[in-house]
Amino acid sequence: MNKVNNYLISVSIATLSTSAFAVESSDPIVIPTHNWSSQIVMSHIVGGIYENMGYTVDYVSTDSQAVYEAIRLGDATLEVEVWEGAYGVAFEEAKSKGGIVDAGDHPAVTREDWWYPAYVEELCPGLPDWEALNACAEEFSMPETAPKGRFLGGPVDWLKHDSERIDALGMDFVVINAGSAAALWAELSAAEKRGQPIVLFNWTPNFIEALYPGSFVEFPEYFEGCKDDASLGPNPNETYDCGNPADGYLKKAAWDGMADKWPTAYETLTNIEFSNIQIAEMAKMVDIDGMEPEEAAVAWLEDNESVWKPWAE
C-alpha cells in the first residue's frame, strides 16, 4: 500500500475516535497477520477498535502455525482467527505448555477440507464420498503426480498432515501445495473454464461459496483423538484417518499477560464475535471487490459502529 493510502486510513481511524479512556499501557498491542484475507481484515478491524480506544497497535506478518508459540512467549499479543481444522493442534499444544489463553469463540462455524467444484460430480460418480473420489484419482493426475491424483493443498503453513491422511486411508493422491491463496483460486478458475477435474483445499466461511457451487469431500467423520491416537478410527495403526471437523470452532486467543497489561483491551477481545456471514464479507471485500485489507477494515468500522462500539465499552 502506498503512503497516501496509509495517510487516508490513519485519518479515517482518527476521525472515528471518540474515546476519552486512559489506556493501561501505551506499549503496542502486537497483532499478527497471516496469508488469507478475512484474517488480515479482521486483524485490522480489531486493531482499529483498539486505536479508537487509545491503544497503540503494531501489525506483524507471521507464520500461521508458529504464531501460537510467538503468542505463548509474548512476542505477539493475540490471534483473531484460530481455525480448528488447521490450527487446533498447534493451539492446544501451545496451551498445554502455558502462556496462551483461549479468549472465547466466535459464533462462526468453520470447515476446512478437500473440496471440488460441482461439475466434478459428473466425472466422478459417488461424490462427495472419499472412496468415490479415490476410485477416480487418476482423473486428477498431473504430470508431476501421475498416475496418482493431485490434491492441491494451500500454503504449507495452513492445514498440515494431508499426506498422513492420504497414507492412513490408502489413497492414490499426492499433495502439491499452492504458494498462496491467490494461486489456489487461479487454479480453480482455470480448471473450471476448461471443465477439468480439480480437488483442492477450501474452507468456509469464505468468498468462494458465493462464486462457485461445490462440496467438501466426506472423509471418515472427525472424532476426538483422530489426530493423536493411532489406535482409534478406521486404520488402527495410523493417526489422521479422518476428515477435519465439519462444524469446527473459530476462536480468539491471547498471550496470558494481556489481561494484566491491557485489561480493557483483553475484555474487548473476549467480547468480539463474528458470524459466518461477516467473515465471508471480509474476504469478499478484498478478494472480489479488490480493496486493500486496511481499507476494508476502515470501511467495516465506519459502517458497523453499532456492532463494535458495545464491544469496547
Residues binding ligand TMO (CB under 6 A): 36, 83, 86, 112, 154, 158, 203
- The Cα–Cα gap between 263 and 268 comes to 9
Q: How far is the CB of 283 from ligand TMO (least distance, A)?
A: 9
Nearer to ligand TMO, 95 or 160 (CB): 160
Residue 82 grid cell:
484460530
Indicate the residue type of 187.
E
Nearer to ligand TMO, 35 or 145 (CB): 35
Q: How far is the CB of 200 from ligand TMO (least distance, A)?
A: 12
Residue 212 grid cell:
462457485
- β-bridge partners, 174: 150
Q: How far is the CB of 155 from ligand TMO (least distance, A)?
A: 8
Residue 208 grid cell:
468462494
Nearer to ligand TMO, 59 or 83 (CB): 83
- The Cα–Cα gap between 215 and 248 comes to 16
User: Which of 88, 2, 82 is closest to 34 using CA atoms?
Assistant: 82
Nearer to ligand TMO, 29 or 178 (CB): 178
Q: Where are the alpha helices (DSSP H) in the chain?
A: 3-16, 37-53, 67-72, 84-97, 120-123, 130-135, 162-168, 181-194, 208-211, 258-261, 263-271, 276-287, 293-303, 305-308
DSSP H helix total and E strand total for the chain: 14, 10
Indicate the residue type of 239.
T
Q: How far is the CB of 219 from ligand TMO (least distance, A)?
A: 16
Nearer to ligand TMO, 65 or 134 (CB): 65
Q: How far is the CB of 205 from ligand TMO (least distance, A)?
A: 9
Q: How far is the CB of 24 from ligand TMO (least distance, A)?
A: 32
The answer to whether the beta carbons of residues 133 and 243 sit under 8 Å apart is no
- The Cα–Cα gap between 182 and 189 comes to 11
Q: How far is the CB of 101 from ligand TMO (least distance, A)?
A: 20
Q: How far is the CB of 256 from ligand TMO (least distance, A)?
A: 23
Nearer to ligand TMO, 117 or 154 (CB): 154
Question: In this structure, what are the phi and psi dihedrals at residue 146, rounded to the nearest 5 degrees?
Answer: -55, 140
Nearer to ligand TMO, 80 or 133 (CB): 80
- The Cα–Cα gap between 128 and 220 comes to 11
Nearer to ligand TMO, 84 or 292 (CB): 84
